[in-house]
Amino acid sequence: MTISLNQVGKRFNYDWIFRRFTHTFSGTEHSAILGPNGSGKSTLLQIVSGHHHHSEGAVAYQDDAGRDLPQDQFFRFSAIVAPYLELVEEFSLQECFEFHQHFKTFLPGHSPRDIAARVGLENAWKKQVRNFSSGMKQRAKLALAIFSDVPVLLLDEPCTNLDAAGVALYQSLIGEHCQNRMVIVSSNDEAEYGFCKERIEITAYK
């Protein structure tokens, strides 16, 4: 998978968040988009994901065979974790996993119950999400994304609401399941992006 951004910029009303961002994400690279709060790193990740449209420049996607991929189809090849994307509060954890599988399959050899147990939620299988703690919700979101059978993972502040044990779990899951996938992390916390060899400072594109 290749994601190419050429002279991409984003503005809200008359205020430019960033401009002239040019970069190609490819293969199984692990990349971090860094910058202080409000600098635009999450906005850039949302543009990559297709959730936001850019104001200038071009974004292009190609699959592993080098074929162009329409932007509105990129979601089939990616999974995202972000604070602004919520689980369905009325669903139980089981229903969340069942609903998710209408859109994406899980990695081979991993059943939904096994995944729930891996992230410490085996006892919450029948529990409604509305009754989860914030840390439990984040563990569920990480599970749904990391165990999705897709080549690209987009992680926006992935350790939000996690305690020390949750952060250790996140780092373990990345090590176990993301070595052969593209991962792009938006963060200013090294615990979240320490495994990324490529680091991009969004403040360089103001």
- Mean pLDDT, 10 residues at a time, the chain of 206 residues: 96 93 96 94 95 95 91 93 94 97 96 97 97 98 98 97 97 97 97 97 93
Cα 185 from Cα 193, distance rounded (Å): 6
Across-strand partners of 18?
Answer: 10
pLDDT reported for residue 80: 96
Residue entry with tokens 């069942």 = 98
pLDDT reported for residue 127: 97
Cα 198 from Cα 113, distance rounded (Å): 34
pLDDT reported for residue 120: 97
Model pTM above 0.75? yes
Q: List CB contacts of 105: < 8 A, sequence separation 6 or more.
A: 148, 149
pLDDT reported for residue 66: 87
Q: Which residue segments constitute the domains of the chain, with CATH numbers given? A: 2-205 (3.40.50.300)
